[in-house]
Amino acid sequence: MRLLIIEDEEALAEAIARGLRKQGWATDVVLDGSQGLEKALINDYDVIVLDRNLPGLHGDEVCRRLTREGSQARILMLTAAHSLRDRVDGLDLGADDYLGKPFAFDELVARLRALARRSAPARPPVLRRAGIELDAATRRATREGSNLELTNKEFGVLEILMAADGRVVSSEELLEKVWDENADPFSNIVRVTMMTLRRKLGEPQPIETVVGVGYRL
């Protein structure tokens, strides 16, 4: 899952990002509303964590423009303003969820997982294909009942391939969804991760390489 945090409190933004990366999610951080909007329109994020009171461009306007532009990303407003009127206003602007500060990190993670499941097309909480079962909430994957010891990136790649439901997934899409903006697009990181993932999945090998296109499970 690829996330964007738009939050002007740098220490809080980085703390959230560290926690989410430990969950295995590719996470980018922006401290300004204008830059956040630009990045959100350029990249394909699953969920955007959006502070309301932002410098450069207010969070309300960021949310309004993302909705108007037809962004497919789910938006969670994260702000100290959490009266009933504030929540109603935020949801009316196009936000999908609203969480007030201070908050429990576990609740934030649970809400982000729920929003990701509501992405288009909707993704079930447990994915099953080719004898593989993957539970995103518990970060557990098995094949024919045997536990798979996967790194966060291997887990992320497998999750994208399983969610594609037989569709071919390009290396570019995997890089976009599993790695954050600091990943070198000219590196062989996707190919190397695919090699180690295939080795752990074993035989018969469920991942097919479609030459010149990408990978399919």
Residue 194, pLDDT score: 95
pTM for the model:
0.71
Residue 14, pLDDT score: 94
CATH no., domain 2-117: 3.40.50.2300
* DSSP secondary structure code for residue 181 in this structure: T
Residue 10, pLDDT score: 94
Query: Is the Cα torsion angle 125, 152, 11, 46 positive or negative in sign?
Result: negative
15-64 pLDDT, tens digit per residue, is 999 999 988 888 999 999 999 999 999 888 999 999 988 999 999 999 99
60-70 pLDDT, tens digit per residue, is 999 999 988 88
Average pLDDT of span 134-145: 90
Residue 114, pLDDT score: 86
Residue 22, pLDDT score: 86
Of the chain, the percentage scoring pLDDT greater than 90 comes to 58
Residue 90, pLDDT score: 61
Q: Is the pLDDT of residue 91 over 90?
A: no
Listed by start position, the domains of the chain span 2-117, 126-216
Helix (H) / strand (E) containing 159: helix 152-163
- Rounded Cα distance between 42 and 146, Å, is 40
| Residue 101 banded pLDDT, cuts 50, 70, 90 | confident
CATH no., domain 126-216: 1.10.10.10
DSSP letter for each residue of 92-155: HHT-SEEEESS--HHHHHHHHHHHHHTSSSP--SEEEETTEEEETTTTEEEETTEEP---HHHH
Residue 121, pLDDT score: 60
